[in-house]
Structure 1
Amino acid sequence: MNVRQLRFFLQIAEIGSVTRAASFLHIAQPALSRQIRQLEDELGVTLFQRSDRGVVLTDAGRLLRDRAVALLRHFERVRQEVRDEFNEPSGELTVAMPPSMFDLVTLPAVTSYRERYPNVQLRVIEGISGILNAWSMVELGRADLAIVTNIEPLATLDTAPFLHEALCLIGPKGAGLDPDKPVGLEEVARHPLMTPSRPNSLRLIIETALAQRKLPLDVKLEGTTPHLLLGLVEQGAGFATLPFCSAYRRLREGRVCLAPIEGVEVSWTLIQAREQPLSTAGERMKSLLRDVATERVAAGEWKLCRVAP
């Protein structure tokens, strides 16, 4: 079994056809089929079920696919580390970011990174907990670095505390909420709320806080993005419970108002795979994310937030 065979195998698995995969890979179909037969013979298993409509993975094939993705990423990372030791960072880097941080972290960090490291093929995914599962993408080797909340299942990953910020009650501009005047959970329970869909971690944080006080959660609408929820808040459709960073731009422009919820906090964590160290490109991004966040907090733009030591 070699890297070339694994790449051929993954291409066929993705396309579902040996013929189309051969065309994509610019290799003769008989030669491609021979490589897969050799791989099956070596492993002693059948990797594909073949039919007139194409091929589908067997159980053994699915297992190899899951392992091969991480293995090839590790191989590429080792090769890239050797290159980057003596050259500017290059290669590929996939980062999963929470949509809440778009204005304060994601956009400025990505802009700066592209200027500094133009040879890196950067892929940014705005992952939502419970929807795209940024933590599982890192665990499966489909993302190199991610920012998630600390209530995600992180036991199998390397973690580093990133930020702590207040969860806020956010209302339309005339609701009278003040960032300098925290509100209690009793106040939150009195409002109709629009929240992320379960099992989103921001939803679970407010659910847990209210349940511990035996207070009701009056959910009038569920959405999958802060952009949607805050757009509805702005239109006067209700209130949202989201971190300050979600509402940063709308608050600055006077389109919403907010107040921190007493005793309720969101802790953000940087995660990466435990068994595969970050490439140089990944380490530079990790450092840049911290620098951007620290600058925003120090400048007073990111209120109700503190950088983790």
Structure 2
Amino acid sequence: MKYHQLKAFLSVAEQGSIRAAARSLHLSQAALTKALKELETDLGVSLVLRTTRGVQLTAYGLRLRTRAQMIVSEMRRAEEDIAHLRSAGTGKVAVAITPTTAMSFLPAAYRAFRKRMPHAQVSFIEGFTGVALPRLREGSLDFVVAVVVEEQLAPEFDYFELYRSQSVIVARQDHPLSRSTTLAELVDAEWLLNPSPESSTRRLLDFFSEQGLPVPQRVVECPSFVIAHALLRGSDAIAALPEPLLDHPWVGDGLTVLPIIDPLPPIAIGVVTRRDSPLTPAASVLLDCLQEVTRARV
């Protein structure tokens, strides 16, 4: 198997057609088809089925896809390591960041990162584990900053806690439950919930049981922070949010923190990396900057 063959195969798998894959790699269709045929010949199996609607992966292709993604990602990292040695300040980093960290610590960390690596290519996505961990596994992300239950992580991942944050319950300012002081008063409320098992709201709902209270049943699953924020301001739904988020005017505007006297569980925000893959220089620098900022502020 050769690097260009794997790249051709992955592009076909992603694009769903030979034409689109060739275009994305700036190759002729003949050149891409040749690379794919050579890979199938080397492996002795058919990897794709050509249909009138494009291509589909065979069982062999589906099995190869995950491994190929990891191989290509590791080769990219090796290239970046060498490029960094040749010219400091270059490289690539792709990271998933939870909204709380993105709004509280990322801007300062990113400014520090840019001073040290002005020419690096950077990619960010929101750090919800259901999306982020599969991408970390396949190698398209370098690390993930998110709310994670360490005990539930697969053994292929490493984890360390970055910082802790206090959780608060919020609703729109004129909400009928805005003066509630106990969790018992919120059992029948409508809750917005990130379906991830590590989310702050999920942890809070589990806390109801720990306190001997019925678990709220009126739950709306909403993994999008933007959608959840809009619903909080424009409906009777309530939610648990990390307290630092409310320091930002556009987040806290129109919302109120319920004066709950019950002690709420803190939220641990941690960093997840792949155990078998060392960070690239760019990823290491960005992570160092994040740690420096969180240590200075927490």
For 2:95 and 2:274, how far apart are their aligned partners in 1? Answer: 12
Alpha-carbon offset, residue 135 of structure 1:
2.2
The correspondence for 2:192, drawn from 182, 195, 198, is 195
For 2:240 and 2:106, how far apart are their aligned partners in 1? Answer: 21
One-letter identity of the residue aligned with 2:21: A
Match of 2:290 in 1: 289
Alpha-carbon offset, residue 235 of structure 1:
4.9
Secondary structure at 2:248 match in 1: helix
Alpha-carbon offset, residue 208 of structure 1:
1.4
Alpha-carbon offset, residue 13 of structure 1:
1.9
One-letter identity of the residue aligned with 2:268: S
1:141-162 CA distance string (max 9 Å, x none): 1211111223263232011111
For 2:202 and 2:14, how far apart are their aligned partners in 1? Answer: 35
Gaps of 5+ in 1: 178-182, 298-309
Is 2:94 the partner of 1:94?
yes
Contact 2:147 2:270 in 1 (8 A): yes
Runs of 4+ residues deviating >4 angstroms: 250-255, 258-261
Secondary structure at 1:294 match in 2: helix
For 1:232 and 1:28, how far apart are their aligned partners in 2? Answer: 48
Pair 1:6–1:248, CA change in 2 (3 A): same
Pair 1:84–1:253, CA change in 2 (3 A): same
For 2:235 and 2:247, how far apart are their aligned partners in 1? Answer: 18
One-letter identity of the residue aligned with 2:2: N
For 1:20 and 1:225, how far apart are their aligned partners in 2? Answer: 30
For 2:222 and 2:24, how far apart are their aligned partners in 1? Answer: 39
Contact 1:196 1:225 in 2 (8 A): no
Is 2:24 the partner of 1:27?
no
Pair 1:168–1:218, CA change in 2 (3 A): farther
- Aligned length in residues: 289
One-letter identity of the residue aligned with 1:283: S
Question: TM-score, normalised on structure 2?
Answer: 0.84
Using the TM superposition, name which of 111-120 and 32-41 deviates more.
111-120
Alpha-carbon offset, residue 20 of structure 1:
3.8
Is 2:240 the partner of 1:241?
yes
Match of 2:142 in 1: 144
Pair 1:38–1:253, CA change in 2 (3 A): closer
For 1:101 and 1:259, how far apart are their aligned partners in 2? Answer: 24
One-letter identity of the residue aligned with 1:276: S
1:145-203 CA distance string (max 9 Å, x none): 111223263232011111122221224447458xxxxx6543554x6243224235223
Match of 1:79 in 2: 79
Match of 2:170 in 1: 170
Secondary structure at 1:290 match in 2: helix
Alpha-carbon offset, residue 128 of structure 1:
2.4
For 2:256 and 2:227, how far apart are their aligned partners in 1? Answer: 14
One-letter identity of the residue aligned with 2:267: V
Alpha-carbon offset, residue 56 of structure 1:
1.4
Is 2:208 the partner of 1:210?
yes
Gaps of 5+ in 2: none
Match of 2:267 in 1: 266
1:54-113 CA distance string (max 9 Å, x none): 321111111211111111111111221223235323222110011233321233333443
One-letter identity of the residue aligned with 1:150: V
- More strand per residue: 1
Matches within 5 A, 1:45-60: 45-60=45-60
Secondary structure at 2:69 match in 1: helix
Question: TM-score, normalised on structure 1?
Answer: 0.81
Percentage of pairs with the same residue: 25
Pair 1:24–1:187, CA change in 2 (3 A): closer
Contact 1:13 1:56 in 2 (8 A): yes
One-letter identity of the residue aligned with 2:204: I
